[in-house]
Amino acid sequence: MFPKYSQYKKWTLPSKYSFWGWLLGILGISLAILGIGLTIHNPFADKDIHQEIAKEEYKPEVNVKLVEITKWITDDSAFLTIEFENVSRGPALEFSAMIVNNGEPVDFDVVSRSDFSRSGTLRIGSNKTASIPIVEINELKRYVSSKTHYENFLGVGKESSIPESIQKELDKKYVRSGNGGYQTSSQPIYLNYYYKGIGGTEHKIETGFYAYLDVTPK
């Protein structure tokens, strides 16, 4: 209970100091409680924090798992096919992939009927894989030949080193047949792929694979 002014004037100096100390203490506690209440009950702050946590916790991460030539049941010829793997807890949305040259997409005439990435709705779930036919094999060969001027296409892969299976075939063709040695080349082909996270985050990955060529002089 607060004193009247006439009572306050009659107080001793120590009593006045005690009163003001008590009053300031009460005021400080009230402000502290008010601040905590505003922090706890601010739904906008909570929402922003939760969104940022979700974006980070469920940020998708997609890697190239396998590069191969595959014959799809929906198509008349084989396609360069890349298997992508999502190694994260969050889904990769609106996934798409394409071969690029100097950073620009390369247009090919033949499109696989199994290429669902062109619809813009392809989703790779958490810890799931998806195989995408990228380019028809004959178009790929022509593209590689236009860049290297070599036509003896051997295959494709993730690594620059020639696979052992291809080397064995070349051994049969050249060494065991008595035609001498052989030479090979690994031509990098550049690939970009894109996807979004559940929080709308956009991801662009610039990578590539290799086309293997027989460049043995004739």
pLDDT band, residue 3 (cuts 50/70/90): low
Query: What is the three-class DSSP state of 112?
Result: coil
pLDDT value of residue 173: 85
Strand partners, 213: 153, 185
Write down the pLDDT at residue 175: 78
pLDDT tops 80 at residue 36? no
Answer positive or negative: Cα dihedral of 188, 189, 190, 195: negative
Q: What pLDDT was estimated at residue 115?
A: 86
pLDDT exceeds cutoff 90 at 95: yes
What is the pLDDT at residue 61?
95
pTM passes above 0.95 = no
The mean pLDDT of the chain is 82
Written in H, E and C, the secondary structure of 144-201 is HHHHHCCCCEEEEECCCCCCHHHHHHHHHHHHCCCCCCCCEEEEEEEEEEEEECCCCC
Single out the residue of 51, 67, 63 nearest to residue 198, CA to CA.
51
Token representation of residue 195:
């996807």
| Tens of pLDDT, residues 186-215 | 999 999 999 999 878 899 999 999 999 999
Q: How confident is the model at residue 38 (pLDDT cuts 50, 70, 90)?
A: very low
- pLDDT score for 148: 83
| Number of neighbours of residue 216 by Cβ within 10 angstroms | 17
pLDDT tens string 157-186: 999 999 999 999 988 888 766 667 889 999
Q: Which residues of 90-125 are buried (b: 16+ CB within 10 A; e: fewer)?
A: bbbbebbbbbeeeeeeeebeeebebbbbeeeebebe
Instruction: Residue count of the chain, please give it.
Output: 218
| Residue 63 pLDDT exceeds 60 | yes
